[in-house]
Amino acid sequence: MKKVQFKSTYSQYFFLAPQLLILLIFLYWPIIQTFKDAFTMQDAFGFSSQFAGFDNFLFIFSDPSYLTAFKFTIMYSFIITLITGSIGLLLAVQANKVMHGKNVYKTLLIWPYAIAPAVVGVMANYFFSERYGLLHHLFNNLWGFNWYEDVFDAYIYVIIAGSWKQISANFIFFLAGLQAIQKTVIEASIIDCKSNIRRFWTITFPLLMPTTFFLIIINITYAFFDTFGIIDTTTIGAPGSETKTLVYKAYIDGFKGLDLGSAGAQSIMMMLIVLVITIFQFRYIEGKIHYN
């Protein structure tokens, strides 16, 4: 085999330069800046900036509302992943069976995916408004719903608001996954097994594993980062700090509180969390998945 080799001139650097420049300016510079913020103590305007060691990290870990946000974020991403994944899968399986008007179903179910999280939050706001909210009235008649005060009720609020749009994302990927499964495999399985449900769990679902794995990562990152707009337009972290995600907490401390040191330290913690989750998933879960 002939080795392809470009003649070494400086032209390749020239062509790479725009890309590298963009990466440097928009990716590496902010990251370096974040590290700098996390390890310094500075006033809002950036004068009197001094090295603080791990003070900012100690500060956030001694802050009870940071620990609450930590726990909430883990729980929130777990529940969102579970809910959106299972409902998305259910809808995809059902939509895949439909013979007539398939495209209409598909389009309608995909639509919510195009809506920005902040807009979803504003819509949820209407549904959960004490004055004219349909869901508020429904839940209130069932058990006396009050998300201003009750932590459990606030969870329900942000979980419904956060899941709704992401169900569409799950739906579209599961549907694509289902359609990629070879007809012959399905047909062969029909001969071997009568039970629809058993066939699904033993043949279809294992073949969907790559999609599921992909969606778990997507859903977790969504719940971690993209739900910011939803929290900001629904509960703003109340009651207490029970519905603050880590991103929202970093925003409040950094932008509203103007404490860049603490916000920087929180950003680095988030980076570490995402790193750990990703390593864990690729190490222990992906090994059990068989790609075709």
Partner 1 sequence: MKKLVSILVLLVSFTFTSNSYSKTEIHWWYGNSGFLGDVIIEIANRFNDSQDEYMVIPTGKGSYEDNMAATIAAFRAGDQPHYSQVYDAGAAIMVAQVKNGVVIGFEEMADKYGISVDADNYIPGIKNFYADEDGKMIGVPFNSSTCLMYANMDILNEVGIEEVPKTYEEFEGMAQKIADAGYIPLLQSHSPWIWTENFFSRHNLLMTDGNNGYDAVPTKTLFAETDAFVMHWSKVKEWYEKGWYGYKGRAWGDNQAPFTNGEAAFWFGSAASFGGMKGVLPNFTTNPIPYWDSVTGGKEYPTFIGGAANWILNGHTEEEYKGLAKFIEFMGSPEMDLYYHNMTGYAAVTKGGIELAETINFYRTSPYHKAVGDQLGLEGSTIPGGYRAGNWPQIREVIYENVEPMLNGDISVEKALGNMDKGSAKLLKQFAKTL
Instruction: Enumerate the H helices of the chain as residue ranges.
Output: 11-23, 29-38, 55-61, 64-97, 102-110, 117-127, 134-143, 151-180, 183-192, 196-199, 205-207, 209-221, 228-233, 246-251, 260-280
Residues in 3-42 that interact with partner 1 by CB under 8 A? 41-42
Smallest separation (angstroms) from partner 1 to the CB of 158: 13
Question: 151-180 and 117-127 are packed helices; what angle lies between their axes, rounded to 10 degrees?
Answer: 130
- 259 touches partner 1 (CB under 8 A): yes
Residue 163's contacts (CB-CB under 8 Å, 6 or more residues apart) are 80, 83, 84, 87
Asked if 131 touches partner 1 (CB under 8 A), the answer is yes
Q: By CB under 8 A, name the one of 81, 248, 250, 253 that touches partner 1.
A: 253
Tell me the chain's radius of gyration from C-alpha atoms.
24
Check binding of 147 to partner 1 (CB under 8 A).
Answer: yes
* From 12, 31, 111, 130, residue interacting with partner 1 (rule: CB under 8 A): 130
Using CB under 8 A, pick the residue from 21, 32, 134, 236 that binds partner 1.
Answer: 236
Residues 6 or more apart whose CB falls under 8 angstroms from that of 56 comprise 38, 39, 41, 261, 262, 264, 265
Q: Is residue 241 involved in binding partner 1 (CB under 8 A)? A: yes
Among 105, 137, 150, 232, binds partner 1 (CB under 8 A): 150
- Taking each helix axis as running N to C, give the angle between helix 102-110 and helix 151-180, from 0 to 180 degrees, rounded to the nearest 10: 140
Residue 61, interface with partner 1 (CB under 8 A)?
Answer: no
Q: Which of 52, 95, 110, 160 binds partner 1 (CB under 8 A)?
A: 52
Interface segment toward partner 1; rule CB under 8 A; list 11-19, 108-116, 230-238, 267-275? 230-238
Distance CA 175, CA 171 (A): 6
| Comparison of 44 and 197: residue with beta carbon closer to partner 1 | 44
- What are the residues binding partner 1 (CB under 8 A)? 41-48, 50, 52, 55, 59, 62-65, 130-131, 147-150, 235-236, 238-241, 252-253, 255-259, 261-262
